[in-house]
Amino acid sequence: MEPPVIALENVTVTYRSGFLGGTAFDALRGVSLNVSAGETVGLVGESGSGKTTLGRVCLGLLHPTAGRMHFAGTPFGGLRQRRGQLSVVLQHPEWALNPRLRCGRSVDEPLILTGVPAAARRKRVAEILEQVGLDPSFAARLPGQLSGGQRQRVAIARALVTRPRFIVFDEAVSALDVSVQAQVLNLIRDLQERHDFGALFISHDIAATRYVSHRIAVMLKGEIVEDGPAGKFYASPEHPYSRALLAAV
């Protein structure tokens, strides 16, 4: 069987603050989580529960204090070795794109970093913009001329352009209006079917999360308290905290 794209084993992240690391605080405590190709794992929990920290660990932006992390069966290593293999879509549409770069250039950047020749890059950028439902003419526009939903589409195009094996969506639809949210959620589902990437969908919104996810992990105070198929979160999750989240839907 193919190994999962991301496998976390007993990962702990400890923040130290104060003089000589006087006070320690565990942002993550013994977290184990697998994400397979073609699978979306939803990660829900309130702010401060450690879900963003977990996302940063999976992206290689933060090194675990303890525990092991594998990417497609091999130890994670550094980000430079993983060029083109993983990417991220973040919350604020107004901050997702460099306001001084034309959208095409933003989408192009991961390709430049992986050393793709210019002609191939142009073709690929046009192709991926089309796949996220944007006319290729958007490549020439600046982010300031786009709506929030359009910017988030460009951000998704940038995340997908190198055909990565793993994508983290960190509150990717939270700042969007309801009608636009549905467009973006559907887009994520369709693109996954096509590209077969593994995804971690981080959100405080359980309704949106269960809609895009195959599996959901619930975080509370740095630990995963419940991990099960998304269908369970339409009916009756076990942990009382999961039920409290569901009550608000």
Partner 1 sequence: MTAPLVDIADLVIGYDTGMRQVRALDGASLRIDEDETLAIVGESGSGKTTLGMAAGRLLPPEAKVIGGSIHVAGVDVTRADDEALRRLRHDKLGFVFQNPTTALDPTLRIGRQVALAMGGRPPPEAIAELLSRAELNESERILRAFPHELSGGMAQRVVIAMAIARRPHLLIADEPTASLDASIREKVMSTLGRLRAESGASLVILSHDLRMVARHADRVAVMYGGRIVELGSVTRVMQAPAHPYTRALLTAAAGNERPGERLCPIPGTPPILESRCEACAYADRCAFRETRCDTERPEARPFLGREVVCHRAEAVIGAPTQARQEDR
Partner 2 sequence: MSGLARIARRGRPRPNGLTIFGVVTLGCLLFLGVFGPWLPLGDPSRIAAGPRLDAPSAQFLFGTDELGRNFLPRVVQGIRSTFLLSAVAVAITAVIGTLLGMAAGYLGRHTDQIVARGADILFAFPALVAGLLVAAIMGPGQASAITVISIATLPLFIRVVRSVTLGVAGRGFVTAAEVAGASTLRVMLVHLLPNVMGAVIVQLTYALSIGMIIESGLSFLGLGVQPPNASLGSLLRQGSAYLTIAPWMVLSSGVVLSLAIMSVNLVGDAVRDALEPLKGRPLT
Q: Which residues bind partner 2 (CB under 8 A)?
A: 59-61, 79-80, 82-84, 86-92, 94-101, 106, 109-110, 113-114, 155, 158-159, 162, 175
100 binds, among partner 2, partner 1, none (CB under 5 to 8 A by kind): partner 2
Which is closer to partner 1, CB of 129 or CB of 230?
Answer: 230
Nearest-angstrom CA–CA distance, 55 and 175 = 18
* Least separation in angstroms between CB 87 and partner 2: 6
3-class DSSP state for residue 65?
Answer: coil
21 binds, among partner 1, partner 2, none (CB under 5 to 8 A by kind): none
Nearest-angstrom CA–CA distance, 184 and 172 = 9
60 binds, among partner 1, partner 2, none (CB under 5 to 8 A by kind): partner 2
Which is closer to partner 1, CB of 14 or CB of 174?
Answer: 174
* Least separation in angstroms between CB 227 and partner 1: 18
Which is closer to partner 1, CB of 75 or CB of 193?
Answer: 193
Footprint of partner 1 (CB under 8 A): 44, 46-47, 147-149, 177-183, 185-186, 189, 204-208, 210-211, 230-231, 234, 241, 244-245, 247-249
142 binds, among partner 2, partner 1, none (CB under 5 to 8 A by kind): none
87 binds, among partner 2, partner 1, none (CB under 5 to 8 A by kind): partner 2
CA dihedral 123, 126, 131, 137 (to 10 degrees): -170
β-bridge pairing 40-44 and 198-203:
parallel
φ, ψ dihedrals at 74, nearest 5°? -115, 155
* CB-based burial label for 231 (10 Å; 0-12, 13-18, 19+): exposed
CB 42 within 8 A of CB 215: yes
Residue ranges of E strands in 160-242: 166-170, 198-203, 215-220, 223-229
* Least separation in angstroms between CB 137 and partner 1: 16
Nearest-angstrom CA–CA distance, 94 and 184 = 16
